[in-house]
Amino acid sequence: MAQRTLREMVGTRHAKVGTFVIEFCTPGIGQILKSAGSDYAVLDMEHSGFGIDTVKQMLRYMEAGEMPTIVRVPSHNYHHVARALDMGAEGIMLPMVGSAEEARAIVAHAKYPPEGHRGVALQVAHDRYQPGPVLEKLRYANRRTTIFAQIETRSSVNEAEAIAALDGIDCLWIGQFDLSASLGIAGQFDHATYLAAEATVQRACAKHGKSFGRLVPDVTTGIAKYKAGFDFICYSGDVWVLQAAMAEGIGALRKVCKGRAPTRGGRVA
């Protein structure tokens, strides 16, 4: 199947299923995720220990696996947005986008003139070190770059429609723990107030033809959220998937393999 880009994915209703990478920097990570069927990956700089050098390295690993990649940067600051893009991020995710004004500034940081004020550096990581006509490169980068705005506060929900209406914002992404905490119901994802907030954001995305995303901890939640209007379904993350698989396997083995120790000759006592 031909590789899909993030630009091809955003704004469509069909499900895009990916995962977070917050712990494991390994040369095979892009190919591992690709072979597992992942549509995209999110590299996290907000809550992980990844710095820009690590992200640059990991983006090369993702390119080797033809894995479309979003980098979640730690702030809205120009240097975080522009550097992640210069390192080759196809998409960027911004935490705590609270207003259309903030979202508009983020778009300006991410886009080259005339759409924004991103500084120009060519024949570096983002254009794979290739020469070429300058204006063509800038237009291509502006088309390619996708922006995921995280909705994580009460004010973000109130501003959801204005944020979704902006050109350059491609997906509104619920940060469920922060949003629930902002609403005074931390971790209560079945609470009517929380569900109403998600529904408000979903309507804004549908009205303006934008994608709608969220991290989900398990398959059951992912299916339910897809039915509720989410199209970017982010299934767990590297550390949690490994931890859950190890706990399940080791727990099952311990239930059976207990109280029986081998003798020196290898026979069970």
What pLDDT shows up at residue 11?
85
Q: How far apart are CA 108 and CA 128, in angstroms?
A: 23
Nearest to residue 89, comparing CAs of 127, 35, 121, 50? Answer: 127
Is residue 269 scored above 60 in pLDDT?
no
What pLDDT shows up at residue 190?
97
What pLDDT shows up at residue 265?
61
Q: Which residues of 70-83 are buried (b: 16+ CB within 10 A; e: fewer)?
A: bbbbbebebebbbb
Is residue 188 scored above 50 in pLDDT?
yes
Q: Do β-strands 69-72 and 91-94 pair in parallel, antiparallel, or remain unpaired?
A: parallel
Q: How far apart are CA 240 and CA 20, in angstroms?
A: 10
User: Would you place residue 3 in the very low, low, confident or very high pLDDT band (cuts 50, 70, 90)?
Assistant: low
Domain ranges for the chain, please list them: 8-237
Q: Which CATH class is domain 8-237?
A: alpha beta
Q: Which two tokens stand for residue 104?
A: 């508009």
User: Would you place residue 102 in the very low, low, confident or very high pLDDT band (cuts 50, 70, 90)?
Assistant: very high
Q: Which two tokens stand for residue 229?
A: 């209007």
Per annotation, catalytic residue among 14, 47, 76, 126: 47
Q: How far apart are CA 174 and CA 163, in angstroms?
A: 13
Nearest to residue 24, comparing CAs of 2, 68, 57? Answer: 57
CB atoms within 10 A of CB 93: 25
| Span 24-38, pLDDT tens digits | 999 999 999 999 999
Q: How far apart are CA 203 and CA 86, in angstroms?
A: 33
More confident residue, 210 or 263: 210
What pLDDT shows up at residue 200?
98
What is the mean predicted confidence (pLDDT) over 79-104? 97
Which helix (DSSP H) or strand (DSSP E) does residue 220 occupy?
helix 219-227
Is residue 2 scored above 80 in pLDDT?
no
Mean pLDDT, the chain, integer: 95
Nearest to residue 54, comparing CAs of 87, 92, 18? Answer: 87
What pLDDT shows up at residue 29?
97
Length of the chain: 269
Active site includes 47? yes
| Span 242-267, pLDDT tens digits | 999 999 999 999 999 986 666 666 55
Percent of the chain with pLDDT strictly greater than 70? 95
